[in-house]
Structure 1
Amino acid sequence: MTPLDGLLHILSAELEAEAERLFAWWSKLDGPGESFAAEVDLQGRINPSADHSIILATRLLWYFSAHGRLFESQASTRLAHKAAAIIRSRFWDKEHGGLIWALNPDLSPKTTHKQAYAQAFGAYAFAEYYALTRDAEALSLANHLFNLIERHYRDAEFGGYTEALSARFERIDDQRLSDKDLNAPKSMNTHLHVLEAYTRLHQIAPRPETAEALAHNIDMFLRHIIDDQSGHLRLFFKADWTDLSHHVSFGHDIEASWLLFEAADVLGDDGRLLRVKDAAVRLAELVSCDGISRDGGIYYEAAKDGSSLDMVGEWWGQAEGLVGFLNAFELTGEDRYLGHALAAWRFVATHHKPKGLGEWTWYPAGGGRRDPYLAGAWKCPYHNGRAMMEALHRLDRMKPEAAGQAAAG
């Protein structure tokens, strides 16, 4: 065993242990009857007054399904069944189709507009649930949401997808995903998560429609979302793709670097794959040059004009850094990317995992910012839980025996 093999073996063992530790914490959100906890505070207490978010619900379904499939876990599978049932019975709009945004604490409908982002996460989650269970209804729901996005949100004139519509799929004035976002008709973030949903759906149940839509979304990144000059992602747009962005998001850059390559790889178009590989490596390189602290943490964002830099990153950016830099290492063979991946993981272990706490903190210790909660609408096991599973998959591919089998094949 070479020193590199030994290092990767140690990392794999650490990540597998972390994957199980995270599952042990998130499985405790299982609530009585037809519910999961909607919010957990910094002391681990459930907030009974919190609204139930479709984002948390779909990300729980995706996470428990992926965990159950990878680790062949009956406990994960049971929780995936429960999450799927809750989404079907409570978040699904039985009159108009699609997924509403939020429920009251008593599980009655509260906010009924429909973000494309939420429909995409529903498709992503039910596609993964189908991969776990081979439940035909799960695949039907994933395809329904895919068809709904293509019918109602796809921009026939300029390409891409609009942000949000009413419960009846009519235009609404406020299309923001959250209070932090610009009220713009298109965003990088929505396109990124439509991309990952379409990638998984095409991977498990390919058909000409999913291939066309996946290619379309990849092309939107190559033509409009990735800035030709800087190489970074543009974040917000007018309908005609006029750039409205003021900042660069390092976490999204590194996340997109591997999700975009995965999409092109699943699509299997050699021409697009080559262009995407170049863009993915460039995104990773830009983050490695401008978006990493001395101790390996991924910065949050910087002003496009260079006037400001927010160095206090969030937990999800560190998770995506681990996967994104492992992806760049696989694509290039350059050891420095592996070093960045290891540094991101060490940063998490040092700054985001207080002793005795099962879940990562939102902000790093010593960053001067207080976490809003440990679990909630925007704090789910999707980023860090997925990072553990993705990294383990990639490390498994890097093992000498796997490389030998590939060469023999």
Structure 2
Amino acid sequence: MRSLLLAVLLVGTVHAQPEAGPLTPDVRAALAEEVEVGLHQVLAAWYPRAVDREAGGFLSRFDAEWQPVGDQQKMVVTQARHTWTTAQAAMWTGDPAYAEMSLHGVAFLRDAMWDAEYGGFYWLVTRDGTPIPEGDGPIVKQAYGNAFGIYGLAAAHAATDDDDALALAQEAFGWLDAHAYDPVHGGYFNYLTREGEPLRAGLGRTPPKDQNSSIHILEAFTELYHVWPDPTLRDRIEEMLVLIRDRITVDPGTLTLFSTEDWTPVSYRDSAAAVREANWYYDHVSFGHDVETAYLMLEAAHAIGLDAAPTLAAGQRMLDHSLATGWDPANAGFVEAGYIYADGDPLVVVDATKNWWAQAEGLNTLLLFGDIVPAERARYHDRFVQMWGLIQGYLVDHGRGGWYAGTLDRQPHLREADKGSIWKGPYHNVRALMNVARRLRGEGE
């Protein structure tokens, strides 16, 4: 049944999107088996080859054949994500080798990426751990990077009971809250000096606050709360959840990408076309972030025991908007970006490529909402099954392992592109595949 189901999915995504039908217990079991195979294939592609036994931490960049290439600079986000992923793999498989890899990551975060003089995590270091400054000279730290440091350390403690990992996670939370938290307008400044002074005007042309650092601060704090239910931490989780849900998320159900200090949205809608185009990075609709946030908000609400109803409604609005305006009706999947030129105008897709991580997040969110929103179960489950077919048909490298950086139906040249970089590790797809497998087997209720 498993191979037959997969064949149907692959044919369906190439030519059309037939309705998948209900996810009966037998279908869920067959899909769970496929997903678990896919999960183990992703883990096998990355580990142990990514473990840097010479310089510590993890290697980041691999070519299409999984050969390490380049100077192997190490970003705290990547290092922490590998630490988190191996910790989750240890808990998933029971294999002590993964636990050792996670602690290997903890050691690099502690000994190389943590600033022993001023506190906080460096953003980027050389392969051997020498901090790399910004182009104009100074060391700049990011709340986004520090959040992921917390995230990886908390998971490592959960997997290994390592006290040092928890202690550093707690110290990193204290440093971030003391230096980046904004008690006036709420949330966190993303950019800080090495000493921990927030850059209230932002960094260069980049504004001081944004959705991406905010949603991952929420994610990291939630992970830490599972192993350290501190009351201040809980307050910050609730504050960030409400901020993201009720302020950063705007009509018709999408995230404001960048904001000023007081959370005024940065928008170029009223500018000339050339100005809008030049500033597209700061002002567009990111469907991947929207569907990811729908999940992260619910995860946070559940962790702190908050009434989930308003968060579920907000997340469903984000998912529905993404399906209505950012879904590929031919081969399935969420496209990269859209733009709403004026209130009331229809969204225009400005980048129709489909990156790997947005499909992973979409897979997770579609199954979750299909399971918990009975009125839309058939629609969300259909899209979930179609997404799985897209992933198997156009993202998974069945010969060499791992996932391509984007779907081959839109970007066939990515077949020979790098499999790994400081921005492409296994965190998104491993998390999605684990969550999906658990839920398909009835373990995520």
TM-score, normalized by the shorter chain, greater than 0.5? yes
Match of 2:270 in 1: none
Taking the aligned partners of 1:335 and 1:13, their CA distance within structure 2 comes to 21
What is the TM-score normalised by the length of structure 2? 0.84
Match of 2:344 in 1: none
Match of 2:163 in 1: 136
Q: Contact 1:363–1:370 (CA<8 Å) still a contact in 2?
A: no
1:103-125 CA deviation, whole Å, 9 max, x = no partner?
12343222342100011001111
Q: Contact 1:48–1:105 (CA<8 Å) still a contact in 2?
A: no
Which of 355, 358, 365 is the equivalent residue of 2:401? 358
Q: Contact 2:60–2:425 (CA<8 Å) still a contact in 1?
A: no
Answering whether residue 293 of structure 2 is matched by residue 256 of structure 1, we say: yes
Taking the aligned partners of 1:206 and 1:335, their CA distance within structure 2 comes to 37
Q: Which moved more, 1:249-258 or 1:386-395?
A: 386-395
Give 1:173 deviation, angstroms.
8.1
Taking the aligned partners of 2:102 and 2:42, their CA distance within structure 1 comes to 15
Match of 1:213 in 2: 236
Taking the aligned partners of 1:392 and 1:175, their CA distance within structure 2 comes to 40
Taking the aligned partners of 1:114 and 1:197, their CA distance within structure 2 comes to 17
Q: Contact 2:199–2:208 (CA<8 Å) still a contact in 1?
A: no
**Matched ranges for 1:308-319 at <5 A:** 308-319=349-360
Match of 1:83 in 2: 105
Taking the aligned partners of 2:436 and 2:247, their CA distance within structure 1 comes to 29
Match of 2:19 in 1: none
Match of 2:335 in 1: 299
What is the TM-score normalised by the length of structure 1? 0.91
CA RMSD of aligned residues (A): 2.0
- Summarize the Cα distance change of 1:159–1:369 in structure 2 as closer, same or farther, 3 Å threshold: farther
**SS at 1:114 equivalent:** strand
Taking the aligned partners of 2:24 and 2:289, their CA distance within structure 1 comes to 29
Answering whether residue 220 of structure 2 is matched by residue 197 of structure 1, we say: yes
Q: Contact 2:189–2:199 (CA<8 Å) still a contact in 1?
A: no
Give 1:254 deviation, angstroms.
0.5
Q: Contact 2:84–2:151 (CA<8 Å) still a contact in 1?
A: yes
Q: Which moved more, 1:375-384 or 1:339-348?
A: 339-348
Answering whether residue 198 of structure 2 is matched by residue 162 of structure 1, we say: no
- Summarize the Cα distance change of 1:109–1:329 in structure 2 as closer, same or farther, 3 Å threshold: same
**Matched ranges for 1:236-275 at <5 A:** 236-245=258-267, 246-270=283-307, 273-275=308-310
Q: Contact 2:82–2:426 (CA<8 Å) still a contact in 1?
A: yes
**SS at 2:132 equivalent:** strand
Taking the aligned partners of 2:23 and 2:31, their CA distance within structure 1 comes to 12
Q: Contact 2:102–2:156 (CA<8 Å) still a contact in 1?
A: yes
Q: Which amino acid aligns with 2:320?
A: E
Which of 239, 242, 255 is the equivalent residue of 1:233? 255
Taking the aligned partners of 2:370 and 2:23, their CA distance within structure 1 comes to 17
**SS at 1:41 equivalent:** coil
Q: Which amino acid aligns with 2:420?
A: A
**Matched ranges for 1:371-382 at <5 A:** 371=414, 373-382=418-427
**SS at 2:107 equivalent:** helix
1:119-178 CA deviation, whole Å, 9 max, x = no partner?
1001111111111011122111111111112111111111111111011112448856xx
Answering whether residue 331 of structure 2 is matched by residue 331 of structure 1, we say: no
Q: Contact 1:68–1:77 (CA<8 Å) still a contact in 2?
A: yes
Give 1:369 deviation, angstroms.
6.8
Give 1:307 deviation, angstroms.
4.2
Give 1:374 deviation, angstroms.
1.3
Answering whether residue 141 of structure 2 is matched by residue 114 of structure 1, we say: yes
Q: Give aligned-pair identity as a percent.
A: 28
Q: Contact 1:352–1:363 (CA<8 Å) still a contact in 2?
A: yes
Taking the aligned partners of 1:86 and 1:57, their CA distance within structure 2 comes to 8
1:264-305 CA deviation, whole Å, 9 max, x = no partner?
1111122xx221011011111112222211222111110122
**Matched ranges for 1:10-89 at <5 A:** 10-27=30-47, 28-35=49-56, 36-89=58-111
Q: Contact 2:51–2:59 (CA<8 Å) still a contact in 1?
A: yes
Q: Contact 1:62–1:126 (CA<8 Å) still a contact in 2?
A: yes
Q: Which amino acid aligns with 2:440?
A: L
Give 1:38 deviation, angstroms.
2.9
Q: Which amino acid aligns with 2:423?
A: W
Taking the aligned partners of 1:174 and 1:61, their CA distance within structure 2 comes to 32
- Summarize the Cα distance change of 1:69–1:174 in structure 2 as closer, same or farther, 3 Å threshold: farther
Match of 1:407 in 2: none
Give 1:62 deviation, angstroms.
0.5
- Summarize the Cα distance change of 1:393–1:88 in structure 2 as closer, same or farther, 3 Å threshold: same
**SS at 2:442 equivalent:** helix
Q: Contact 1:12–1:395 (CA<8 Å) still a contact in 2?
A: yes
Answering whether residue 210 of structure 2 is matched by residue 187 of structure 1, we say: yes
Taking the aligned partners of 1:218 and 1:355, their CA distance within structure 2 comes to 38
Give 1:309 deviation, angstroms.
3.0
**SS at 2:182 equivalent:** coil
- Summarize the Cα distance change of 1:396–1:205 in structure 2 as closer, same or farther, 3 Å threshold: farther
Q: Contact 1:250–1:301 (CA<8 Å) still a contact in 2?
A: yes
**Matched ranges for 1:363-402 at <5 A:** 363-368=406-411, 370-371=413-414, 373-397=418-442
Taking the aligned partners of 1:174 and 1:369, their CA distance within structure 2 comes to 40
Taking the aligned partners of 1:278 and 1:172, their CA distance within structure 2 comes to 34
Taking the aligned partners of 2:349 and 2:378, their CA distance within structure 1 comes to 30
- The structure whose RCO (Cα within 8 Å, separation 6+) is larger is 2
Taking the aligned partners of 1:174 and 1:160, their CA distance within structure 2 comes to 15
Q: Which moved more, 1:315-324 or 1:52-61?
A: 52-61
Q: Contact 1:113–1:164 (CA<8 Å) still a contact in 2?
A: yes
